Amino acid sequence: MNSLKNRTAIITGSARGLGKAIAERYAALGANVVINYSRDHASAEEVVKNIKAMKANVIAVKADVTRAEEVKYLFGETKKAFGTVDIVVANAGIELIQVPVTEFTEEQFDRVFNINVKGAYFTLQQAARDIADGGRIIYISSSTTTSPVPGMAVYGGSKATPKYLVEILAKEIGHRKVTVNSIIPGPVENTGVFVEMAKEDPFYKELLNGSPMGRLTSVQDVADVAEFFASDLSGFVSGQHLLVNGASIY
């Protein structure tokens, strides 16, 4: 079993969904965990409660990743509490689906790119500045960047841009033995738009029919890969993008 004892991990957008699953996995492996949220204080506190029950060290920090000064504050509070930053997971993001190219609005474009691109860029930038030598930086991307899906031009485009930054950053700070990688999940069950989507929805059925294994990606599937990228096992894996979708066409 991997151990993250004495390591400190920041996971942005970790009050629910993928971020929550990764935070709780890292806590189970002994890491000090920093829960980040922008609005949902109640959900963040619930995750903190879960992690404390594991006897792991945890704090929650409210910070909007679209504001560079708040990202800096997030890292500052982490170092104040634990003295170091060893693992950073840039997970915070929002979705926009089933909106054709001819129909998305400027407001929709700005909101998605502000969170998914600007937020990821400034999180990765601050991680590069503050992470300890030998640290791990992980970006959560989307399978829409590898399998273009109609109606997801804005969302897929916003998730593709930081993947390029991952490759650049891996080269720029590799001399510090810091690895930088991205995880590319397929559609993830019970997160984001799939929290409210009925199993009878034609779009859900289409995604399910495209999966050879007959299911969507789970949060634990993604947490498994996040564990690998955070562990010593991936010490010579950097600048890479790992697709986690069970060979689905999506």
pLDDT digits (tens, 9 = 90+) for 75-94: 999 999 999 999 999 999 99
Average confidence (pLDDT) over 155-163:
97
Q: What is the overall mean pLDDT for the chain?
A: 97
Question: Over the stretch 162-217, which tens digit does the pLDDT of each residue have?
Answer: 999 999 999 999 999 999 999 999 999 999 999 989 999 999 999 999 999 999 99
Token digits for 13? Answer: 């957008």
Q: Residue length, the chain?
A: 250
> Against a cut of 0.85, is the pTM above it?
yes
Site of tokens 């010490």:
235
Residue 94 CA, chain-centre distance (Å), reads 11
* Catalytic residue positions, numbered: 141-142, 155, 159
Rounded to whole angstroms, how far apart are CA atoms 11 and 54? 17
- Domain 8-238 architecture: 3-Layer(aba) Sandwich (3.40)
Other CB atoms within 10 A of residue 5 CB:
10
